[in-house]
Amino acid sequence: MKRPNAQSSVASRADVERIYPRMVELRRTLHRYPELAFEEVQTARVIMEELDRLGIPYEYGGIGGGIVARITGKPDGVTVALRAEMDGLPGFESTGLPFASVNPGKMHACGHDGHMAMVLGAAALLKSNPPPGNVLLVFQPAEERGGGSRVILRSGALSGVKAIFGGHLTGHYRVGEIMVTPGVITAQSDGFLIQVQGRGGHGARPHEAVDAVVVSSLLIVAIQTLVSREVNPVYPSVITIGQISAGSAPNVIAETATLRGTMRTTLPDVRKRLIGGIERMAKGIGDLHGARIEVIINEGYPPVVNTVTEAEIARRAAAKVVGEKGLVTMEYPSMGSEDFSYYLQEIPGCYVRLGALRDGWEHIPLHSPAFDFDEEAMKVGAAFFDQVARDAIEAYAG
């Protein structure tokens, strides 16, 4: 593999400014009509209409199947892929934007509208001046729920792809900053369900019952010690119980209780230890209080692990777009999760974060009903995706 030429093509400011109004238009249309995982019908229609306008051929897998488009600069050349997500989130938007969601209970609270617009912007740049290789544009369903990246992988559309690149807008960095880091970027995400079976009774006669609420409370407190007392503090991990369901009346001792939570880890050994700890504590507390406790682990997304070579290609491309001063590194992995991880289990690649916070703005977290981003960030994102595709093709061609 040869190192990308430092003088390789960088999209001009004029080229980026030329496509920017269209990216804004696309982003706002997509934002106004969000759709949930595997329901991205209108979203897919908007993307396909834009690909048709650009003259870029594509394949559509139908509802829930995603779209894979192809820009061909050299049919027998190297193929790389760029990825964007199509789905929104459940939630009621509170941004007050003139293009706020008109679909009740659905909104783009994670920037996926911007991701689609940026990749379409990069598509326009690549189409106008194709690199000596091939670029696949991947618009996948269901990143938030359902692991839609696996749908794309199962389709075989990425067969022969040398590397894949993706990114995410974030208010943790300012517009003009790009975070590029090799190694672990996000955590393994696992869900769990704990069902407590006690024995119901009258609130005035607790000695006749096994109180599922009390047993659950003891278990909740015990589980919190797994991270604080059984995991090396240098290994990031989190256990959160976010839902508790129990009881039917104030004077009735609950017979059953259901706990639901999430577990985040970055190392397989830590994950195994925490799962074993939850199961051990559930059995011990159940035995101690005469309750039956069942633990169900629902495996989630694996960690996103950027490959070293592709992270370096992405770093060089980012430096060409924002300069060395705009490069940011992540010292510790995010405890969030991302289904881009499934691509990286099969294809080398790199996942970056694109600054989207405007000076003077308050940081609003992803998934918040008030989430928004500075649309100027889409200029940076489109230029980066264009550049990283060109640099990757040049690197692998050697």
Q: pLDDT digits over 325-361, tens only?
A: 999 998 888 999 999 999 999 999 999 999 999 888 8
Q: Could you give the percent of the chain with pLDDT greater than 90?
A: 93
Q: pLDDT digits over 202-219, tens only?
A: 999 999 999 999 999 999
Asked if the domains 13-186+303-397 and 188-298 are classified in one and the same CATH topology, the answer is no
Predicted local confidence at residue 332, as pLDDT: 86
Predicted local confidence at residue 1, as pLDDT: 53
Q: What confidence tier does 7 reach under pLDDT thresholds 50, 70, 90?
A: very low
Q: pLDDT digits over 83-138, tens only?
A: 999 999 999 999 999 999 999 999 999 999 999 999 999 999 999 999 999 999 99
Class of domain 13-186+303-397: alpha beta
Q: pLDDT digits over 306-331, tens only?
A: 999 999 999 999 999 999 999 999 88
Predicted local confidence at residue 81, as pLDDT: 98
Calculate mean pLDDT across residues 154-165: 97
Calculate mean pLDDT across residues 51-72: 97
CATH of 188-298, one of 3.40.228.10, 3.40.190.10, 3.30.70.360, 3.40.50.800: 3.30.70.360
Q: What confidence tier does 9 reach under pLDDT thresholds 50, 70, 90?
A: low
> What is the rounded average pLDDT for all residues in the chain?
95
Q: pLDDT digits over 361-397, tens only?
A: 888 899 999 999 999 999 999 999 999 999 999 999 9
Predicted local confidence at residue 6, as pLDDT: 38
Q: pTM for this one?
A: 0.91
Predicted local confidence at residue 5, as pLDDT: 47
In this predicted structure, the answer to whether residue 260 has a pLDDT above a threshold of 60 is yes
In this predicted structure, the answer to whether residue 65 has a pLDDT above a threshold of 50 is yes
What are the residue numbers of the active site? 87, 143
* 3-state SS string for the chain: CCCCCCCCCCCCHHHHHHHHHHHHHHHHHHHHCCCCCCCCHHHHHHHHHHHHHHCCCEEECCCCCCEEEEEECCCCCCEEEEEEECCCEECCCCCCCCCCCCCCCEECCCCHHHHHHHHHHHHHHHHHCCCCCEEEEEEECCCCCCCCHHHHHHHCCCCCCCEEEEEEEEEEEECCCEECCCEECECEEEEEEEEEECECEECCCHHHCECHHHHHHHHHHHHHHHHHHHCCCCCCEEEEEEEEEECCCCCEECCEEEEEEEEEECCHHHHHHHHHHHHHHHHHHHHHHCCEEEEEEECCCCCCEECHHHHHHHHHHHHHHHCHHHEECCCCCECCCCCHHHHHHHCCEEEEEEEEECCCCCCCCCCCCCCCCCCCHHHHHHHHHHHHHHHHHHHHHC
Predicted local confidence at residue 49, as pLDDT: 98
Q: pLDDT digits over 19-54, tens only?
A: 999 999 999 999 999 999 999 999 999 999 999 999
In this predicted structure, the answer to whether residue 2 has a pLDDT above a threshold of 60 is no
Q: pLDDT digits over 270-295, tens only?
A: 999 999 999 999 999 999 999 999 99
In this predicted structure, the answer to whether residue 154 has a pLDDT above a threshold of 60 is yes
| 6 vs 75, more confident | 75
**Where do the domains of the chain lie?**
13-186+303-397, 188-298
